[in-house]
Amino acid sequence: MASTDSGRPGAGGTPAPARAAGGRTTSRDVARAAGVSQATVSLVLGDKWRGRVSERTAGTVREAARELGYRPNLAARNLRLGRTRTALLVVPALTSEFFARVYTGANGVAAEHGFGVVLYPSPVGTGPALDPFDSARAALDGVIASSMAADTLSGMRGGGLPLVMLDSDPRAGTGTAATVNLDIADGMRQVARHLLALGHRRFAHLAAAVDSWTFRERAGALTRAVAAVPGPALARESAALEVEAGRRAAERVLRVAAERRPTALVCDDDLLAAGACKAARGLGLRVPEDVSVTGFDDLALATAVDPELTTVRLPAEAVGARGMTALLDALDGRVPDTAPLPVLLVPRASTGPPPRP
Amino acid sequence: MASTDSGRPGAGGTPAPARAAGGRTTSRDVARAAGVSQATVSLVLGDKWRGRVSERTAGTVREAARELGYRPNLAARNLRLGRTRTALLVVPALTSEFFARVYTGANGVAAEHGFGVVLYPSPVGTGPALDPFDSARAALDGVIASSMAADTLSGMRGGGLPLVMLDSDPRAGTGTAATVNLDIADGMRQVARHLLALGHRRFAHLAAAVDSWTFRERAGALTRAVAAVPGPALARESAALEVEAGRRAAERVLRVAAERRPTALVCDDDLLAAGACKAARGLGLRVPEDVSVTGFDDLALATAVDPELTTVRLPAEAVGARGMTALLDALDGRVPDTAPLPVLLVPRASTGPPPRP
DNA sequence: CTGTTAGCGCTTTCAT
DNA sequence: ATGAAAGCGCTAACAG
């Protein structure tokens, strides 16, 4: 297995080859080349030399480093410093734009503070046995976990690292540094209000078959919003988070006599909504004339399909940014901001008044 | 904390506080708790103790480690070993399922060899100044880069690490350990053959406005395939890799007199194809009756839209797996397999015979 | 201003 | 079968 094992061939009388024979350039090589000590190199390259090293020496050192193509050994630095300036972002799926945008937001804030962010896609099964602290070999200063399934949480507590939860149950936070949440419930309330105002009274909820806070929140909020006005009915059907599963679930819900058929399909996710639209068309129903459909997330898909989806826009970048900020705060002993982020209904072409009976 | 020797009574003497006061548990803490030397701990926990440490001692050590919740310090291990068993996977975009699947494939192979894979989404601008070796703070043994834009390549050569390119120009490989490619050209040829067989003669190519090998390959292959038979015309229009950009580009191409209008839109990507379908419908044209549309990649989107897209399926997982295998080979001095991976046209509902004039 | 020194926590000879 | 000791490359006290 050992690959790069030329390691340390008994170096005879050194003719001062500024670069170690087989290995990488070290700070000592730079020091030798510049004719200074290792400490000076560290100071200069670490940019803490103002008033401690002469301008001229600093220049020499930088020149030598450039010349030799010196790159500091992270492992050594991390070992010495005891921290890595690296955070792990755990996401349930790589595919989704939502998480891509969360990453972008987190990475932006991280970069401003000299931190890096490493992605860990939680294995699909999301069994409790996940171990990001072994799998992502990077040594870590903290963990940010987004939208994790309930049972995955438990496994997450390894390493005793600061943990920031994103889009997750705020009450689960025993030992959690902070929870950054979206106002999911308000989003669902906006959906309900929109549809009720259009005149809908028979609803069906296409729920994601994923046991996580964010989806329980959506279900609860919809139930309450619909129950708040007299009269309306609410059916519910679950589906895996895929277009095809959404299509099948919607088909089950729509295949009933017209007078009992829901006039509005509220979906937990844009993928499900896309499936719902396909189901409707497959049954000869028009969207939105015969049945209105709403999504959630406002992914690119929402405007890729026809008609474009009425959906709830989630400020994903902001979630990531706030998550990273919270982690940084926790790391520095400050108390993280924890107000929920607002979300916004974006009405488009997939919703309209219910059909006249 | 009670006295720590719950596992190993009888070893009088040291009341040693098995866990360092403020910090994490180290292998020395474990050694003390188990009443052995650090070396023994390393041997046992590194699973190289057969015949070197007694069964009984090994048990004691493992018990102590478990008891104390010991986790080896990766930074120290990496420093000592000079390698990290970590590879970096550089991808141009997080959003795409394609890269998610490449990751999955790479990670699977990596795991079998005790490696981890860390993702580095190359910044959107893909300016040449990217530095994954600083951004992803993890120390790395090698880099796998997928579908990178041409100018991004140059920046990639930092660190002198083994580099495996995926879906990239094989000739760019100066200093590259290996290139794992898809038979992109053959995919495009299959598309052309399919459409020609259906009777199409007026084509338009919706090209991705991204300067990378994979898209140049698609353009070249289509041009050649169409030129190979007498008669056909081929227009070309570029668009950013987004549905809306694809829609606009398709609109430009379709907004001409019916007798000059292309009857088949060959798109570089499923996103573009989805946009093309929207454009067609927006202009009152039916897909595939009035115009056929093909995609590339076979993303989930391909079956989410209506009609489902005829597209070229790319074996993304296999690409990732082969990439990781090639990196492992290079690391161990073996010579990587470099045959292109086959791709397959999947005919669906978005293509049909051209309209009768 | 600059050099010397002492480890960070781990693995690995080499003695015992 | 086990322990002692060296050292990976780096940074931060502390001397000079």
Closest CA of chain B from A94, distance in Å: 5
CA-nearest of B198, B177, B189, B247 to B219 is B189
Nucleotides of C under 7 A from a protein CB: 1-13
Q: Does the nearest atom of strand D lie within 7 Å of A26's Cβ?
A: yes
What's the rounded mean pLDDT across residues B296-303? 93
Percent of chain B with pLDDT over 70: 85
In a structure prediction context, what are the per-residue pLDDT tens digits for chain A, which is 357 residues long? 333 333 333 333 333 334 433 467 999 999 999 999 999 999 999 999 988 899 999 999 999 999 999 989 999 999 999 989 999 999 988 888 899 899 999 999 998 998 989 888 887 554 444 455 555 666 789 999 999 876 666 656 556 788 999 999 888 666 788 999 999 999 999 999 999 999 999 999 999 999 999 999 999 999 999 999 998 999 999 999 999 999 999 999 999 999 999 999 999 999 999 999 999 999 999 999 999 999 999 998 899 888 999 999 999 999 999 999 999 999 988 999 989 999 999 999 999 999 997
Closest CA of chain A from B78, distance in Å: 6
CA nearest to A136 within chain B: B116
Query: What is the band of B155 on the pLDDT scale with cuts at 50, 70, 90?
Result: low
A268 secondary structure, DSSP code: S
* Residue A134 CA distance to nucleotide C9 C1' (Å): 17
pTM for the whole thing? 0.86
d(CA B120, CA A109) in angstroms, rounded, equals 16
What are the residues whose beta carbons fall under 8 Å from the beta carbon of B106, sequence distance 6 or more?
A: B87, B89, B117, B144, B320, B321, B323, B324
Strand-pair partners of B90: B120, B145
What are the residues whose beta carbons fall under 8 Å from the beta carbon of A225, sequence distance 6 or more?
A: A188, A189, A192, A193, A196
In this model, does residue B154 exceed pLDDT 90?
A: no
Nearest to B76 among A4, A79, A85 (CB): A79
**What per-residue confidence (pLDDT) applies to A17?**
38
Give the C-alpha distances (Å, rounded to integers) separating B300 from A127, A242, B113, B333: 24, 8, 30, 38
Q: Are A304 and B305 in contact (CB under 8 A)?
A: yes
For residue A116, what are its two tokens? Answer: 């890096």
What are the residues whose beta carbons fall under 8 Å from the beta carbon of B73, sequence distance 6 or more?
A: A79, A139, B24, B26
**What per-residue confidence (pLDDT) applies to B278?**
95
**What per-residue confidence (pLDDT) applies to A229?**
92
- Strands A233-239 and A202-208 turn out to be parallel
Query: What is the band of B120 on the pLDDT scale with cuts at 50, 70, 90?
Result: confident
What are the residues whose beta carbons fall under 8 Å from the beta carbon of B75, sequence distance 6 or more?
A: A75, A76, A78, A79, A84, A139
Interface touch A137/B118, C-beta < 8 Å: yes
In this model, does residue B357 exceed pLDDT 70?
A: yes
User: Which residues of chain B are within 8 Å of residue A242 when distances are taken between CB atoms?
Assistant: 300
The dihedral over CA atoms of B238, B242, B243, B244, expressed in degrees to the nearest 10, equals: -80
**What per-residue confidence (pLDDT) applies to B184?**
98
**What per-residue confidence (pLDDT) applies to B134?**
59
For residue B8, what are its two tokens? Answer: 């190993």
d(CA A32, CA A23) in angstroms, rounded, equals 16
Q: Is residue B159 left, alpha or beta, with left meaning phi > 0 and alpha meaning psi from -120 to 50?
A: left
Phi, psi (rounded to 5 degrees) for A341:
-85, 135
**What per-residue confidence (pLDDT) applies to A136?**
60
CA nearest to B299 within chain A: A95
Q: Are B250 and B276 in contact (CB under 8 A)?
A: yes
User: Which residues of chain B are within 8 Å of residue A73 when distances are taken between CB atoms?
Assistant: 79, 139
Size of interface A-B (CB pairs under 8 A): 153
Interface touch B137/A74, C-beta < 8 Å: yes
**What per-residue confidence (pLDDT) applies to B92?**
87
* Residue A82 CA distance to nucleotide C5 C1' (Å): 20
**What per-residue confidence (pLDDT) applies to B176?**
83
d(CA B122, CA B251) in angstroms, rounded, equals 31
In chain A, DSSP assigns E strands to: 86-91, 116-121, 142-146, 163-166, 178-180, 202-208, 233-239, 264-267, 292-294, 311-313, 344-346
Query: What is the band of B284 on the pLDDT scale with cuts at 50, 70, 90?
Result: very high
Query: How does pLDDT run across A161-188, given as a tens digit for each residue?
Result: 889 999 998 886 667 889 999 999 999 9
Give the C-alpha distances (Å, rounded to integers) separating A6 from A15, A20, A29, A159, B294: 19, 12, 18, 34, 52
What are the residues whose beta carbons fall under 8 Å from the beta carbon of A244, sequence distance 6 or more?
A: A275, B303
Interface touch A71/B158, C-beta < 8 Å: yes
Nucleotide nearest to A51 (CA to C1'): C1
- Strands B344-346 and B311-313 turn out to be antiparallel
Query: What is the band of B8 on the pLDDT scale with cuts at 50, 70, 90?
Result: very low
Percent of chain A with pLDDT over 90: 69
Tell me how far the alpha carbon of residue B10 is from its chain's centroid: 55
Q: Does the nearest atom of strand D lie within 7 Å of B14's Cβ?
A: no
In this model, does residue B312 exceed pLDDT 60?
A: yes
3-state class of A142 per DSSP? strand
Nearest to B116 among A1, A136, A277 (CB): A136
Treating both helix axes as pointing N-terminal to C-terminal, what angle do A38-45 and A55-68 enclose, rounded to 10 degrees?
A: 90
Catalogue all structural domains in chain A, each as residue range(s) with its CATH number. 1-72 (1.10.260.40), 83-182+317-341 (3.40.50.2300), 184-313 (3.40.50.2300)
Of B338 and B309, which is predicted with more confidence? B309
d(CA B296, CA B310) in angstroms, rounded, equals 8
Query: What is the band of B132 on the pLDDT scale with cuts at 50, 70, 90?
Result: low
Query: How does pLDDT run across B96-106, given as a tens digit for each residue?
Result: 889 989 999 99
Protein residue closest to C6, using CA and C1': A80
Strand-pair partners of B164: B144, B178
Query: How does pLDDT run across B204-213, given as a tens digit for each residue?
Result: 999 999 999 9
Q: Are B62 and B107 in contact (CB under 8 A)?
A: no
Q: Are B239 and B248 in contact (CB under 8 A)?
A: yes
d(CA A36, CA A19) in angstroms, rounded, equals 15
